[in-house]
Amino acid sequence: MMKMKKESDLIPPHYRIVNISREIEQKGIKIIHMELGDPELDTDKRIIDTMYEAALKGHTHYGDARGLPEFRDAVSRYLNRRLKLDLTRDNVCVVPGSKSAIYMSLKTLADGPAKVGVVEPTWGIYYSFIRDLGYDAIPIRLKYENKWQVREEDLKDIGKLDFIAVINPSNPTGVVWDRESIELILEKATRDDAYLIADEIYFELIYSNKKFISFMHYNYEKTVGLYSFSKTFAMTGFRIGWIASYDKDIINRIARGYQLLLTNVPEFIQYAGIKATDLDDVIERNRGIYMERTYFLVNGLKRLGFEFVEPEAGFYIFSKVPNPYNDSYQFALDLLHKARVAIAPGTSFGDYPGFIRFTTALKIETLKEALKNIEEFMKS
Amino acid sequence: MMKMKKESDLIPPHYRIVNISREIEQKGIKIIHMELGDPELDTDKRIIDTMYEAALKGHTHYGDARGLPEFRDAVSRYLNRRLKLDLTRDNVCVVPGSKSAIYMSLKTLADGPAKVGVVEPTWGIYYSFIRDLGYDAIPIRLKYENKWQVREEDLKDIGKLDFIAVINPSNPTGVVWDRESIELILEKATRDDAYLIADEIYFELIYSNKKFISFMHYNYEKTVGLYSFSKTFAMTGFRIGWIASYDKDIINRIARGYQLLLTNVPEFIQYAGIKATDLDDVIERNRGIYMERTYFLVNGLKRLGFEFVEPEAGFYIFSKVPNPYNDSYQFALDLLHKARVAIAPGTSFGDYPGFIRFTTALKIETLKEALKNIEEFMKS
């Protein structure tokens, strides 16, 4: 049970950066937001128009927590087409963002206090949820030296797990996992009969020629795949994504959790999602934009002496904290106050006080301004 | 911690009716839905247009979990105007429906396992959430004989509480509480230093000339008022409401719970809400429509011999189960299968196996058809 009196324990540090930056902004000072994964990009008008038409047609009522049959057909067809899978509507369920999907999966699938293997660096929200639910978090720590891939040594001395939580392509490192990484995790999950929560929300945004291998390609029944419109289609504020699993019972249990808590995702928003699944041109365009921005920031930060494994996907750079800093939170705070640039400290992604995460999905002119501010700060 | 393997324990019986009725509908059989509070009424086009414009303007990004400042200003102004209160934006927080607001209040305000006094008959979701959180539910049972008002005898032998949960105007009875009811509850809350979760979402929909007394009129700091656009403005599917409290710390704690779980309510939906707060003509129109429908069903059910305290507000009728039935769930199941009318069994509202709830917010022709089917079923 959550004891929110201590909610400061639960909130990943980058949310503290978010909240401090909002306070600064209320004084009229401009902050450049590189701490959240919110692209500076508009949602395609065809998506918004479809939402509007659906609302006018009366899709303004309570609905099935699993989602509209039309939505479930659309997203399963989309995954089948893009990832060569074989899903039906019964294998998917709409969710109001992948954050809640992680929470609902952990909450509704466990039989009791669970052991959750968290492959890190990862999105720190996992630790918040695991603590909230009274579960045990077991970090599986990947190494910078291994370019953040999973290697056998990383799984040594990890006891039996009930869940394994992974993100591929990775947030925060931007690395795309190789087959060895995927299969090591799958073997561990199979051995332990553990649920595998596989966040694959960046799979459309790969810039290297490395091939994406979905965990859903393997018919491991206890995999829960997480997908989202937020990044691919610049729809962060719509709060919509979906989960997929070959086990229909998993889908139904998670859906019942949502039915209790939230009833359903607005159906007019589901229609926006349905439209998006048809817009491959938007995927291509947005991938191009994100790639340009990512490489622009990669080159800019390299020039300033930042060290990191170069991202191949998504829109983050997970860099070492520059000397003489050794505390990423202090560095993030100083950068916020002095350079007016908000970034996420490495402690938001596990035990990485020596790292920081930059979001690259901002306009080139915003990135230029951020680099200028950072450069001045570094010299001072 | 929720053990969802037993989620059947958690789900109020009327959701089982919902789910069974969806299965029947998938066979192509038409069901009349009187089990949910979903009005057969369109959302005003001006509200939908405003949402569309906001999305086109780029309100499609992550935002403050408390809501847009403009939204918080609008709903506090609205409550101040309609209920003669004195709230500011810091006293309110947007929520994705009052269901989750109840959950988040219970979850984030407690220091540990809490005792929750539930004034019943009430919306059964309270019991689901209390069980989910590992709290204790203490029923405070009102009496049919007292026309569902709170009387001193109802509070006898109720030990010290951490929360008291009330709904006024009542769901499911449609009764508007008198001053004695309000003040008895407030005295108990004050004595126990308990949080008072006051669901007032039907306050605009009162048909009798009884004056509505908001719990927010009393400056009891630990009151959390729940409000919604769903019923008043026929916006159930938008999933938006708000909470109000004179204690800003309460607002912030609940908001942080939402930040973790859901990030925020889509900002374009908040703009729909802002627009609604200006549309007093819609409130008047919808109140007229709901009143006509409610009295139509009141008269129709009376004619068929159903016995109930006549509702003064909202859109429900909480009736005794007709003879020879004594199990409301069985009656609801039979009515669903034989008369194709879905209703909510009394066990969804506490320990009321002798009662059933009808939703009145359907079109007159739908209500006519429902009455005809029920009449035939009663004769058979």
What secondary structure does DSSP assign to B105-116, as a single string? Answer: HHHHH-SSS-EE
More confident residue, B131 or B10: B131
CB-nearest to A62 from B10, B236, B261 is: B236
pLDDT of residue A10: 66
- CB-based contact (8 Å) between A36 and chain B? yes
pLDDT of residue B5: 38
What secondary structure does DSSP assign to A75-113, as a single string? Answer: HHHHHHHHH-----GGGEEEES-HHHHHHHHHHHH-SSS
Segment B124-139 shows an average pLDDT of 93
pLDDT of residue B3: 40
pTM recorded for the entire structure: 0.95
Which residues in chain B are contacts of A60 at CB distance < 8 A? 42-43, 48, 234-238
Element (H, E) at B129: helix B125-132
More confident residue, B327 or B50: B50
**Whole-number Å distance between alpha carbons of B37 and B99:** 13
pLDDT of residue A147: 98
pLDDT of residue B6: 47
pLDDT confidence band for B326 (50 / 70 / 90)? confident
Which residues in chain B are contacts of A134 at CB distance < 8 A? 1
CA distances from A217 to A81, A213, B238, B338 (A): 13, 7, 35, 45
**What residue spans define the domains of chain B?**
7-42+281-379, 46-279
Q: Which residue of chain A is at minimal alpha-carbon distance from B50? A: A52
Q: What is the pLDDT of residues A61-93, one digit of tens each?
A: 999 999 999 999 999 999 999 999 999 999 999
pLDDT of residue B4: 38
Residue A307: CB atoms within 10 A of its CB come to 12
CATH number of A7-42+281-379: 3.90.1150.10
Contact A265, A241 (CB under 8 A): no
Interface of A with B in 152-171 (CB under 8 A): none
Residue A237 pLDDT > 60, yes or no?
yes
- Average pLDDT over chain B, rounded to whole? 95
CB-nearest to A5 from B62, B111, B239 is: B111
Q: What is the pLDDT of residues B251-268, one digit of tens each?
A: 999 999 999 999 999 999
Residue A292: CB atoms within 10 A of its CB come to 14
Category of B184 on φ-ψ map: left (φ > 0), alpha (ψ -120 to 50) or beta: alpha
Interface of A with B in 59-78 (CB under 8 A): 59-64
Q: What is the pLDDT of residues A129-156, one digit of tens each?
A: 999 999 999 999 999 999 999 999 999 9
Element (H, E) at A340: none
Interface of A with B in 207-266 (CB under 8 A): 234-239, 253, 256-257, 259-266
CATH of A46-279, one of 3.90.420.10, 3.40.640.10, 3.20.20.80, 3.40.50.300: 3.40.640.10
More confident residue, A123 or A93: A93
3-state secondary structure of A344: strand
pLDDT confidence band for B273 (50 / 70 / 90)? very high
pLDDT of residue B59: 98
pLDDT confidence band for B227 (50 / 70 / 90)? very high
The share of chain A scoring above pLDDT 70, in percent, equals 97
Q: What is the pLDDT of residues A101-117, one digit of tens each?
A: 999 999 999 988 999 99
CB-nearest to A52 from B48, B61, B99 is: B48
CB-nearest to B256 from A4, A109, A134 is: A4
CA distances from B176 to A189, B172, B209, B350, B380 (A): 55, 11, 10, 19, 36
Best of A4, A57, A251 to disrupt the B interface by mutation (most B CBs within 10 Å)? A4
